[in-house]
Amino acid sequence: MPFITVGAENSAPIDLYYEDHGSGQPVVLIHGFPFNGATWEKVTNALLAAGYRTITYDRRGFGNSAQPAAGYDYDTFAADLDALVNELDLRDAILVGHSMGTGEVTRYLGTYGPDRVDRAVLLAPLAPFLLKTPDNPEGLDRSLFDGFQQAILADRFAFLTTFCDNFFNYDENRGRSVSEEAYRAHWQIGARASAIGTYQSVDAWLTDFRADLPRLEVPVLLVQGDQDRVLPLAATGQRLAPMLPDARLVTLRGAPHGIPWTNADEVNRAILEFAAVGTTARS
Protein backbone atom coordinates (compact mmCIF):
# COMPACT_ATOMS: atom_id res chain seq x y z
CA MET A 1 0.00 0.00 0.00
CA PRO A 2 1.40 3.46 -0.86
CA PHE A 3 2.06 5.97 1.91
CA ILE A 4 3.52 9.44 2.16
CA THR A 5 5.19 10.66 5.37
CA VAL A 6 4.00 14.10 6.48
CA GLY A 7 5.58 14.35 9.93
CA ALA A 8 6.50 12.45 13.05
CA GLU A 9 5.14 11.90 16.55
CA ASN A 10 7.76 10.80 19.08
CA SER A 11 9.39 7.74 17.51
CA ALA A 12 6.74 7.06 14.85
CA PRO A 13 6.24 8.59 11.40
CA ILE A 14 2.89 10.16 10.50
CA ASP A 15 2.05 8.44 7.23
CA LEU A 16 -0.92 9.11 4.97
CA TYR A 17 -2.36 6.25 2.94
CA TYR A 18 -3.35 7.06 -0.62
CA GLU A 19 -4.49 5.34 -3.81
CA ASP A 20 -3.53 6.59 -7.28
CA HIS A 21 -5.27 5.04 -10.27
CA GLY A 22 -5.71 5.75 -13.96
CA SER A 23 -4.21 8.44 -16.15
CA GLY A 24 -5.20 11.81 -17.56
CA GLN A 25 -6.01 14.98 -15.64
CA PRO A 26 -5.64 14.29 -11.90
CA VAL A 27 -8.63 14.48 -9.57
CA VAL A 28 -7.95 14.39 -5.82
CA LEU A 29 -10.88 13.23 -3.65
CA ILE A 30 -10.89 14.30 0.01
CA HIS A 31 -13.36 12.43 2.19
CA GLY A 32 -15.77 13.56 4.86
CA PHE A 33 -15.95 12.86 8.60
CA PRO A 34 -15.48 10.28 10.08
CA PHE A 35 -14.82 8.13 7.05
CA ASN A 36 -11.94 7.50 4.63
CA GLY A 37 -11.14 7.31 0.94
CA ALA A 38 -13.07 4.05 0.50
CA THR A 39 -16.37 5.94 0.70
CA TRP A 40 -15.63 7.59 -2.67
CA GLU A 41 -16.08 4.33 -4.61
CA LYS A 42 -19.13 5.46 -6.62
CA VAL A 43 -17.35 8.66 -7.68
CA THR A 44 -14.01 6.95 -8.29
CA ASN A 45 -15.56 4.44 -10.67
CA ALA A 46 -17.17 7.21 -12.74
CA LEU A 47 -13.99 9.31 -12.90
CA LEU A 48 -11.83 6.37 -13.99
CA ALA A 49 -14.35 5.39 -16.65
CA ALA A 50 -14.27 8.98 -17.95
CA GLY A 51 -10.48 8.94 -18.30
CA TYR A 52 -9.30 10.83 -15.21
CA ARG A 53 -6.38 9.98 -12.97
CA THR A 54 -8.14 9.47 -9.65
CA ILE A 55 -6.42 9.89 -6.30
CA THR A 56 -7.93 9.29 -2.88
CA TYR A 57 -6.22 9.52 0.48
CA ASP A 58 -7.13 8.98 4.11
CA ARG A 59 -6.91 12.05 6.32
CA ARG A 60 -4.56 11.70 9.30
CA GLY A 61 -6.41 9.84 12.04
CA PHE A 62 -8.73 8.06 9.62
CA GLY A 63 -8.69 4.90 7.55
CA ASN A 64 -5.26 3.39 6.94
CA SER A 65 -3.37 6.58 7.78
CA ALA A 66 -1.48 7.12 11.01
CA GLN A 67 -3.46 8.11 14.09
CA PRO A 68 -1.42 10.75 15.92
CA ALA A 69 -2.66 12.56 19.01
CA ALA A 70 -2.41 16.02 17.41
CA GLY A 71 -2.68 17.85 14.11
CA TYR A 72 -6.46 17.83 13.70
CA ASP A 73 -6.74 21.40 12.44
CA TYR A 74 -7.11 22.81 8.95
CA ASP A 75 -3.66 24.37 8.74
CA THR A 76 -2.21 20.90 9.30
CA PHE A 77 -4.75 19.16 7.07
CA ALA A 78 -3.96 21.61 4.25
CA ALA A 79 -0.24 21.05 4.75
CA ASP A 80 -0.84 17.30 4.48
CA LEU A 81 -2.70 17.83 1.20
CA ASP A 82 0.10 20.07 -0.07
CA ALA A 83 2.64 17.36 0.72
CA LEU A 84 0.63 14.84 -1.30
CA VAL A 85 0.16 17.20 -4.25
CA ASN A 86 3.89 17.93 -4.35
CA GLU A 87 4.98 14.34 -3.80
CA LEU A 88 2.86 13.23 -6.77
CA ASP A 89 3.83 16.39 -8.71
CA LEU A 90 0.22 17.06 -9.67
CA ARG A 91 -0.55 19.73 -12.27
CA ASP A 92 -3.93 21.14 -13.36
CA ALA A 93 -5.52 19.08 -10.59
CA ILE A 94 -9.20 19.11 -9.75
CA LEU A 95 -9.70 19.07 -5.98
CA VAL A 96 -12.95 17.50 -4.82
CA GLY A 97 -13.90 17.64 -1.16
CA HIS A 98 -16.95 16.33 0.63
CA SER A 99 -18.14 17.79 3.94
CA MET A 100 -15.10 18.00 6.21
CA GLY A 101 -12.95 17.49 3.11
CA THR A 102 -14.16 20.79 1.70
CA GLY A 103 -12.21 22.46 4.50
CA GLU A 104 -8.94 21.04 3.15
CA VAL A 105 -9.74 22.34 -0.33
CA THR A 106 -10.64 25.80 0.96
CA ARG A 107 -7.67 26.20 3.30
CA TYR A 108 -5.26 24.69 0.75
CA LEU A 109 -6.25 27.20 -1.93
CA GLY A 110 -6.30 30.02 0.59
CA THR A 111 -2.78 29.17 1.81
CA TYR A 112 -0.91 27.62 -1.12
CA GLY A 113 -2.73 29.20 -4.05
CA PRO A 114 -3.98 27.79 -7.34
CA ASP A 115 -0.68 27.08 -9.14
CA ARG A 116 -1.25 23.32 -9.23
CA VAL A 117 -5.07 23.45 -9.32
CA ASP A 118 -7.38 23.85 -12.31
CA ARG A 119 -10.71 23.93 -10.44
CA ALA A 120 -12.41 22.76 -7.27
CA VAL A 121 -15.60 20.96 -6.27
CA LEU A 122 -17.15 21.36 -2.82
CA LEU A 123 -19.82 18.79 -1.97
CA ALA A 124 -21.94 19.65 1.09
CA PRO A 125 -19.45 22.37 2.11
CA LEU A 126 -18.31 23.35 5.58
CA ALA A 127 -17.51 26.99 4.81
CA PRO A 128 -17.89 29.88 5.26
CA PHE A 129 -18.06 29.71 9.10
CA LEU A 130 -20.23 27.47 11.26
CA LEU A 131 -19.86 29.13 14.66
CA LYS A 132 -22.23 31.87 15.77
CA THR A 133 -20.30 35.01 16.71
CA PRO A 134 -21.21 38.71 16.83
CA ASP A 135 -20.03 39.13 13.23
CA ASN A 136 -21.49 35.76 12.13
CA PRO A 137 -25.04 35.64 13.50
CA GLU A 138 -26.03 33.02 10.90
CA GLY A 139 -23.79 30.47 12.62
CA LEU A 140 -24.67 27.78 15.15
CA ASP A 141 -24.30 27.91 18.94
CA ARG A 142 -21.08 26.51 20.40
CA SER A 143 -23.17 24.37 22.74
CA LEU A 144 -24.19 22.20 19.77
CA PHE A 145 -20.57 21.28 19.05
CA ASP A 146 -19.79 20.83 22.74
CA GLY A 147 -22.65 18.33 22.80
CA PHE A 148 -21.11 16.42 19.89
CA GLN A 149 -17.81 16.14 21.74
CA GLN A 150 -19.50 15.05 24.96
CA ALA A 151 -21.36 12.35 23.03
CA ILE A 152 -18.12 11.16 21.41
CA LEU A 153 -16.41 10.92 24.79
CA ALA A 154 -19.35 9.15 26.38
CA ASP A 155 -19.91 6.53 23.66
CA ARG A 156 -18.26 7.15 20.29
CA PHE A 157 -19.99 4.18 18.71
CA ALA A 158 -23.46 5.35 19.72
CA PHE A 159 -22.54 8.79 18.39
CA LEU A 160 -21.62 7.18 15.06
CA THR A 161 -25.07 5.63 14.79
CA THR A 162 -26.73 9.01 15.31
CA PHE A 163 -24.31 10.60 12.86
CA CYS A 164 -24.96 7.99 10.16
CA ASP A 165 -28.71 8.40 10.68
CA ASN A 166 -28.36 12.10 9.87
CA PHE A 167 -25.69 11.58 7.20
CA PHE A 168 -28.10 9.52 5.11
CA ASN A 169 -31.47 10.83 6.42
CA TYR A 170 -31.85 7.14 7.09
CA ASP A 171 -35.43 7.36 8.31
CA GLU A 172 -36.45 8.52 4.82
CA ASN A 173 -33.87 6.88 2.53
CA ARG A 174 -33.36 3.39 3.97
CA GLY A 175 -33.90 0.84 1.22
CA ARG A 176 -34.16 3.58 -1.40
CA SER A 177 -30.94 5.52 -1.89
CA VAL A 178 -29.01 3.67 0.81
CA SER A 179 -29.15 0.01 1.79
CA GLU A 180 -28.84 -1.33 5.30
CA GLU A 181 -25.55 -2.92 4.20
CA ALA A 182 -24.12 0.40 2.93
CA TYR A 183 -25.16 2.07 6.19
CA ARG A 184 -23.37 -0.63 8.20
CA ALA A 185 -20.27 -0.32 6.02
CA HIS A 186 -20.06 3.43 6.60
CA TRP A 187 -20.56 2.90 10.34
CA GLN A 188 -17.74 0.33 10.41
CA ILE A 189 -15.42 2.67 8.49
CA GLY A 190 -16.18 5.44 10.98
CA ALA A 191 -15.55 3.10 13.90
CA ARG A 192 -12.00 2.47 12.63
CA ALA A 193 -11.08 6.13 12.99
CA SER A 194 -8.92 7.47 15.79
CA ALA A 195 -10.94 8.23 18.92
CA ILE A 196 -8.78 11.31 19.52
CA GLY A 197 -9.07 12.39 15.90
CA THR A 198 -12.84 11.95 15.92
CA TYR A 199 -13.11 14.11 19.03
CA GLN A 200 -10.66 16.83 17.97
CA SER A 201 -12.04 17.12 14.45
CA VAL A 202 -15.16 18.75 15.89
CA ASP A 203 -13.04 21.76 16.86
CA ALA A 204 -11.77 21.96 13.27
CA TRP A 205 -15.34 22.31 12.02
CA LEU A 206 -15.45 25.72 13.72
CA THR A 207 -12.68 27.13 11.52
CA ASP A 208 -13.42 30.55 10.08
CA PHE A 209 -12.76 30.23 6.32
CA ARG A 210 -13.94 33.70 5.35
CA ALA A 211 -10.43 35.08 4.82
CA ASP A 212 -9.62 32.17 2.50
CA LEU A 213 -12.56 32.69 0.17
CA PRO A 214 -11.23 35.60 -1.95
CA ARG A 215 -8.12 33.51 -2.64
CA LEU A 216 -10.08 30.71 -4.31
CA GLU A 217 -9.06 32.02 -7.71
CA VAL A 218 -10.26 28.98 -9.65
CA PRO A 219 -13.76 28.02 -10.79
CA VAL A 220 -15.64 26.31 -7.97
CA LEU A 221 -18.63 23.99 -8.20
CA LEU A 222 -20.82 23.62 -5.11
CA VAL A 223 -23.21 20.66 -4.87
CA GLN A 224 -25.48 20.18 -1.86
CA GLY A 225 -28.76 18.58 -0.91
CA ASP A 226 -31.62 20.76 0.26
CA GLN A 227 -32.35 18.21 3.02
CA ASP A 228 -28.80 18.20 4.44
CA ARG A 229 -29.22 17.65 8.19
CA VAL A 230 -25.50 17.71 9.01
CA LEU A 231 -24.52 20.99 7.30
CA PRO A 232 -27.79 22.72 6.42
CA LEU A 233 -27.84 24.35 3.00
CA ALA A 234 -28.95 27.74 4.29
CA ALA A 235 -25.98 27.96 6.68
CA THR A 236 -23.36 26.72 4.24
CA GLY A 237 -23.75 26.37 0.46
CA GLN A 238 -26.28 29.15 -0.02
CA ARG A 239 -24.13 31.59 1.97
CA LEU A 240 -20.87 30.40 0.44
CA ALA A 241 -21.65 30.65 -3.28
CA PRO A 242 -21.92 34.47 -3.48
CA MET A 243 -18.76 34.86 -1.36
CA LEU A 244 -16.55 33.12 -3.94
CA PRO A 245 -15.01 34.85 -6.97
CA ASP A 246 -16.25 32.22 -9.46
CA ALA A 247 -18.76 29.71 -8.13
CA ARG A 248 -21.88 27.85 -9.18
CA LEU A 249 -24.26 26.13 -6.76
CA VAL A 250 -26.17 23.00 -7.75
CA THR A 251 -28.92 22.11 -5.28
CA LEU A 252 -30.12 18.50 -5.21
CA ARG A 253 -33.79 18.29 -4.30
CA GLY A 254 -34.54 15.96 -1.40
CA ALA A 255 -30.90 14.94 -0.99
CA PRO A 256 -29.20 14.37 2.39
CA HIS A 257 -25.62 15.08 3.46
CA GLY A 258 -24.10 11.86 2.13
CA ILE A 259 -24.57 12.68 -1.55
CA PRO A 260 -21.44 10.89 -2.88
CA TRP A 261 -23.33 7.70 -2.03
CA THR A 262 -27.05 8.51 -2.06
CA ASN A 263 -26.99 10.78 -5.12
CA ALA A 264 -23.90 9.51 -6.89
CA ASP A 265 -25.37 9.74 -10.40
CA GLU A 266 -26.25 13.42 -9.98
CA VAL A 267 -22.94 14.18 -8.27
CA ASN A 268 -20.93 12.41 -10.97
CA ARG A 269 -22.80 14.14 -13.75
CA ALA A 270 -22.20 17.55 -12.17
CA ILE A 271 -18.48 16.87 -11.59
CA LEU A 272 -17.87 15.50 -15.09
CA GLU A 273 -19.69 18.38 -16.79
CA PHE A 274 -17.72 20.86 -14.70
CA ALA A 275 -14.41 19.10 -15.39
CA ALA A 276 -15.12 18.98 -19.12
CA VAL A 277 -15.47 22.78 -19.24
CA GLY A 278 -11.93 23.09 -17.95
CA THR A 279 -10.65 20.58 -20.50
CA THR A 280 -12.33 22.53 -23.31
CA ALA A 281 -10.88 25.82 -22.11
CA ARG A 282 -7.36 24.41 -21.98
CA SER A 283 -7.73 22.96 -25.47
Let me know: does 23 contact 41? Beta carbons within 8 Å. no
Give 255's DSSP letter: -
Displacement of CA 29 from its chain's centroid (Å)? 8
Buried-exposed string 175-199: b where 16+ CB fall within 10 A, e elsewhere: eebbeeebbebbbebbeebbeebbb
- What is the C-alpha R_g of the chain? 17
Phi, psi of 150 (to 5 degrees): -65, -40
257 catalytically annotated: yes
d(CA 201, CA 212): 19
Catalytic residue among 99, 177, 194, 201: 99
d(CA 139, CA 154): 26
Catalytic residue among 58, 80, 212, 228: 228
228 catalytically annotated: yes
194 catalytically annotated: no
By annotation, the residues acting in catalysis are: 99, 228, 257
